[in-house]
Amino acid sequence: MSEAQATIELPEGTPEAVSHAGSSLSRVAGGFESAGSVVSRASAAVGSWEGQASVSFQGRAMSYGIAAVAVEQTLTAARGAVQRYETALERARERIRSLRNQEEETLRRLELARRRLADANDRAAAAQEWMTAATFTVGLGTEPFALAEQAQAQGDADQAQADARSAQGQIERLLDELQELRRDAGREQTELDEAEDRAASAVRAAANGLPDIELPGGATSPSAYAGTPFGPALMPERMRGWMEAGRREEAREAREDAAEQERVLREHANPFSHAILEDGTVLKGADAEVHIRANAKGLSLEEAASMPGVFGAVAGMALGVRQASQGKYGAALVSFATSGRVPVRPVARGAVRTPRGAPPPPGKRFQYRVDESGQGKLVELDEHGKVIDERGPLKREELKATQPDPAEVRRGYETDKDKWEGVKGSTKTQRRRALLDLTGNVLDGMEP
């Protein structure tokens, strides 16, 4: 639990945006009501149009009149759901804002209580020293007021200890209060999430209640030839909304996919948080993994790919994705693949390959160092540049000791496999499996 800063955050979304969505639904409903009336009467308007296509057209136009009624009902239901959510969002934001204010106030009081405790402890220590000195003086019998001083020091020490106990008690109460506030905020957020899910379900259910609609035709209508070699393409225009929705969904999945890959690599594959390249580039996650291991070998990709075993397979994979451009991992491999031989210049023993001025990564800092023999190792530095941990040569056994068993990584993946695959397409699944294999291979393939 963070006791230094406020962590309660206002929920995502604003009542204004929800209100605008509701108003927009109202305007759309009005438009459908007005146009639907015209459309349903349109079938009787063209007396001069006779024949089979005109009959089909009449049927369609009549069905649109019915659809307009269904649309009205749908929009009424959706608007109701949106308005209920708007009320819930307003209430939750107000409540969470209040909790946030209380949290900040509690943190402020906590800080004061901690200062009081520190002050009381200081006073207690000073009184203790004074008391010790006074006891010594009493023992010598040289000071007439030594006993009085000793009593005074004892009194001060008692008072300081009482203050410290009081401050400690207040700190504990405030911590409990803080925890309670954050629990309340979490509950509010959960309730709001549920309210949003309910609203979304209601909107989806309302949308599912819409009747199936077919586009109108008719030999003499502009859309009659659409989709044939004689007419304009109908689908891109008509299906604009669907296509847009599809694109949004695809983009969302791509974001989730990238986040999932990054998560797996961060949690399972790479024991080092960062690597700094010669040009000062700071790499993270999979990129760092690939570069560190490639540098450790000092091999060209072609040489590596010709080697037997898992390492050769990994290098072959990198060659195979030379043209690939999808995903961060792919990009890293392409960088690895197109650079050919990974440069490992002999440098003076102990010299740091990271150029001066390279931006340090956040948190702990790692540097990759290469000695004259081309042996690489990662060292961990503190904020002053002092080496606080030296991992030694990047050898397979040492790495394996710092990482989970690849089989375990796979099992972790399998755990949420159903959930993952339930919402993802086969392409994503294939990519994920490839990533998993690659992760396992990289772990196994430290030594050619």
Partner 1 sequence: MDGLAVNTPDLHAAAGTLASVRGELGCGSVQGGGTGGGALDGALAALAARLDFVAAAMDGAVAATSHNLNAGAETYAATDNSQFQGR
> Where in 227-246 is the site for partner 1 (CB under 8 A)?
227-228, 234, 237-242, 244-245
Q: Are 223 and 60 in contact (CB under 8 A)?
A: no
The DSSP H or E segment spanning 381 is strand 376-381
CB of 417 to partner 1, least distance (A): 23
Query: Which lies closer to partner 1 via its Cβ, residue 50 or residue 383?
Result: 50
Query: Which lies closer to partner 1 via its Cβ, residue 37 or residue 306?
Result: 37
Residue 214 backbone phi and psi in degrees, to 5: -115, 145
Q: What angle do CA 328, 334, 340 make, to 5 degrees?
A: 145
Residue 381 backbone phi and psi in degrees, to 5: -115, 150
Site for partner 1 (CB under 8 A): which residue of 57, 311, 366, 368?
A: 57
DSSP string, 241-289: HHHHHHHHHHHHHHHHHHHHHHHHIIIII-S-SEEE-TTS-EEEHHHHH
Site for partner 1 (CB under 8 A): which residue of 3, 7, 10, 21?
A: 21
Q: Show the tokens assigned to 435.
A: 């990533």
Query: Which lies closer to partner 1 via its Cβ, residue 40 or residue 150?
Result: 40
Site for partner 1 (CB under 8 A): which residue of 9, 44, 255, 405?
A: 44
Site string for partner 1, 75-114 (x = CB under 8 A): x--x---x--x---x-------------------------
DSSP string, 292-317: HHHHHHT--HHHHHTSSHHHHHHHHH
Query: Which lies closer to partner 1 via its Cβ, residue 203 or residue 332?
Result: 203
Query: Which lies closer to partner 1 via its Cβ, residue 215 or residue 351?
Result: 215
Residue 413 backbone phi and psi in degrees, to 5: -65, -45
Binding to partner 1 in span 134-193, by CB under 8 A? 192-193
Q: Tell me if 203 contacts partner 1 by CB under 8 A.
A: yes
With contacts defined by CB under 8 A, how many residues of the chain interact with partner 1? 87
Query: Which lies closer to partner 1 via its Cβ, residue 43 or residue 261?
Result: 43
Q: Tell me if 69 contacts partner 1 by CB under 8 A.
A: no
Q: What one-letter code names the amino acid at 349?
A: R
Q: Which residue has the tokens 């209601």?
A: 202
CB of 13 to partner 1, least distance (A): 3
Question: Distance between alpha carbon 206 and the CA centroid of its chain, in Å?
Answer: 31
Q: What one-letter code names the amino acid at 27?
A: R
Pick from 363, 350, 356, 395: nearest CA to 274: 363
- From the list 5-13, 179-187, 282-290, 341-349, the region that binds partner 1 by CB under 8 A is 5-13
Site for partner 1 (CB under 8 A): which residue of 24, 281, 415, 427?
A: 24
Pick from 197, 179, 7: nearest CA to 89: 197
d(CA 307, CA 445): 11
Q: What one-letter code names the amino acid at 237?
A: E
- From the list 11-19, 283-291, 333-341, 429-437, the region that binds partner 1 by CB under 8 A is 11-19
Query: Which lies closer to partner 1 via its Cβ, residue 16 or residue 414?
Result: 16
Q: Show the tokens assigned to 310.
A: 């898992």
Q: Tell me if 255 contacts partner 1 by CB under 8 A.
A: no
Q: Tell me if 440 contacts partner 1 by CB under 8 A.
A: no
CB of 258 to partner 1, least distance (A): 17
Exposure letters 252-285 (e unless 16+ CB within 10 A, then b) = eeeeebeebbbebbeebbbbbbbbbbeeeebbbb
Query: Which lies closer to partner 1 via its Cβ, residue 13 or residue 360?
Result: 13
- From the list 104-112, 148-156, 200-208, 368-376, the region that binds partner 1 by CB under 8 A is 200-208
- From the list 178-186, 217-225, 271-279, 421-429, the region that binds partner 1 by CB under 8 A is 217-225
Q: Tell me if 130 contacts partner 1 by CB under 8 A.
A: no
CB of 61 to partner 1, least distance (A): 5
- From the list 34-42, 106-114, 313-321, 380-388, the region that binds partner 1 by CB under 8 A is 34-42
d(CA 377, CA 292): 9
